[in-house]
Amino acid sequence: MIQPDPFRQARLAGEQLHPFHGGLRLRHNKKISCETPIEKTALATRYFVPLLQHTGREAEPMVSEGQRVMKGDPVGCFEHLGSGCIHAPTSGTVTAIASHANSHPSGKEGVCIVIKPDGLDQWTELEPIADWQNADPAELITAIRQKGIVGLGGAVFPTGFKVSEASQRGIHTLVLNGSECEPYISCDEMLMREQPDSIVLGARILQKAIGAERTIIAIEDQMGVVNQVLSKAVKRSGADKIDIVKVTTIYPEGGEKQLIQVLTGLEVPSGGRPTDLGILCQNVATATAVARAVTEGKPLIERIVTVTGNGVRRPRNLLAQIGLPIANLIDQCGGYAEGASRLILGGPMMGYALSSDSNPVIKAANCILVMTEDDLRPVQPEMPCIRCGECARVCPAQLLPQSLVWAIRNSLWEETEDLGLGDCIECGCCDFVCPSHIPLVEWFRFGKSSLQAAARERDQAKLARERFESREARLEKLKQERKTRIERKKKALQDRSDKQDEIAAAIQRARSRQDRKS
């Protein structure tokens, strides 16, 4: 009997496009940063490399103050979710391991490895895989894990773990996400224009590592040049299982779940992942990083960053080393323009404000947006919700933002989970259309952090309870063992006493017999 294929519809990904709920059509404002080729940044006088640049816990330092490092040497690693190593962006000396601004959304400082360059920019010894096409998939996954590759679309989830898990789940389709839908950000578009061969190579390596049958590279329908250069790169590679699919330019179509729905017509289950549908989704920049890690042995120490906005003189895309102060990027773009007032890491919808340009470039830094006062909407007082439903209309996750905010404000945490708070992608569409100027995304972030804190408290309470129960069980076991030992000793003493009585009785009987004989 032929078994039904649970991934039948998902296998048809890209053959027909489907709509997703909500979303917005926004002005792209990308042209100003796409007029010049990608430039490489100059060496800085100091690098501040944060140990938290990935999903999970902060990495542990692997170097000490005063130690000399080579370009590409690991300076910090963490074991959670596989390896999330951080590597030195250049050769030099570790001058400090200290707290410093680390460009985290929380705005808090974190531990950074401070490196003073020696100006030589010398690589450490690299170990590429010479023949990746005949290599074992496990070897490819190990190389990806060791080189600190993370998702460069913004999630910074360790790619090694994601690929390793996907390789065990029967993935049939690899999707490379080139749908860069948020305004102003153009780093992926410029990468696809200038380095299409590296993207195709990364796609082929990832496809082999996870055992996928085919690859889809999803781009926006207005990227005509990108479509041409990628098509030529696919043809040059000789690969016959890589398709380029143009999707409609609607924000936030570049979101992983939204893109999967557009390509397949299927929704990723709540709390689930695209792998549940037999699909692995990766960013095009991640694919390039994978290609370099495998074929050149190079770790992730740099990324393309869009520096743009009306507050910078010469917007462009820069290839910047991780740990480089953002001020250096601004300087290379001609400095601040008159009226510059706000510095944002990311785009205008999902980015977050930075307090200073001394913050370093991190793996998640796809864009540095400099805005002027004229760009910013005037701050409006928050008013009561009028239940207009606009937020629900544009929500791509099909949530009820107005109900979620009410539940969060009243600390109804179980209800927020039932309403799907965990499925919110914080895209900002609801904020954008809210006529009452309610900071919905801020409330959702607060709600998520509160749920995470409550989960940590539950875990700690569970751990404390398990420790208490384990201690009580151990003490009870010791008590029973002591009781058993005492009873054993008593029995031994009783047995000895009984034996002595028997001996005494035997002696007495012997003496009695002797007396009778005499």
The predicted structure's pLDDT at residue 499: 80
**Domain 383-518 coded CATH 1.10.1060:** yes
The predicted structure's pLDDT at residue 1: 45
CA distances from 377 to 348, 427, 437 (A): 11, 18, 11
Most confident of 10-24, 30-44, 454-468: 30-44
Angle at 110 between CA 105 and CA 113, to 5 degrees: 125
- Report the C-alpha gap between 90 and 101 in whole angstroms: 20
Task: Write out pLDDT tens, residues 133-165.
Answer: 999 999 999 999 999 999 898 778 889 888 998
Q: How far apart are the first and last CA of the chain?
A: 102
- Mean pLDDT to the nearest integer, 29-43: 93
Helix axes 159-167, 284-295, angle to 10 degrees: 90
Please report, rounded to a whole number, the percentage of residues in the chain having pLDDT higher than 90.
69
Helix axes 284-295, 196-210, angle to 10 degrees: 80
Task: Write out pLDDT tens, residues 356-366.
Answer: 999 999 999 99
The full 3-state SS of 349-393, as one line of letters, equals CCCEECCCCCCECCCCCCEEEEEECCCCCCCCCCCCCCCCCHHHH
Task: Write out pLDDT tens, residues 370-416.
Answer: 999 888 878 789 999 999 999 999 999 999 999 999 999 999 998 99
Three-state DSSP state, 150? strand
- Report the C-alpha gap between 91 and 125 in whole angstroms: 12
Phi and psi angles of residue 194, each rounded to the nearest 5 degrees, phi first: -95, -25
- pTM, 2 dp: 0.86
The predicted structure's pLDDT at residue 125: 94
**Cα dihedral sign for 202, 206, 208, 212?**
negative
Q: For 29, which DSSP code? A: -
**Domain 14-308 coded CATH 3.40.50.11540:** yes
The predicted structure's pLDDT at residue 3: 54
The predicted structure's pLDDT at residue 8: 79
Residues of the chain with CATH 1.10.1060: 383-518
Task: Write out pLDDT tens, residues 416-471.
Answer: 989 999 999 999 999 999 999 999 999 999 999 888 888 888 888 998 999 999 99
The predicted structure's pLDDT at residue 117: 97
Whether 83 has a pLDDT exceeding 70, the answer reads: no
The predicted structure's pLDDT at residue 181: 87
> What is the residue-averaged pLDDT of the chain?
91
| Distance, C-alpha 427 to centroid of its chain | 17
255, two tokens: 């979101």
Task: Write out pLDDT tens, residues 246-293.
Answer: 999 899 998 899 999 999 999 988 888 899 999 999 999 999 999 999
Task: Write out pLDDT tens, residues 470-514.
Answer: 999 999 999 999 998 888 888 888 878 778 777 888 888 888 888
Residues of the chain with CATH 3.40.50.11540: 14-308
Whether 342 has a pLDDT exceeding 60, the answer reads: yes
Contact 71, 89 (CB under 8 A): yes
By C-alpha distance, which of 466, 5, 467, 21 is closest to 258?
Answer: 21
Whether 313 has a pLDDT exceeding 60, the answer reads: yes
Whether 40 has a pLDDT exceeding 90, the answer reads: yes
Three-state DSSP state, 111? strand
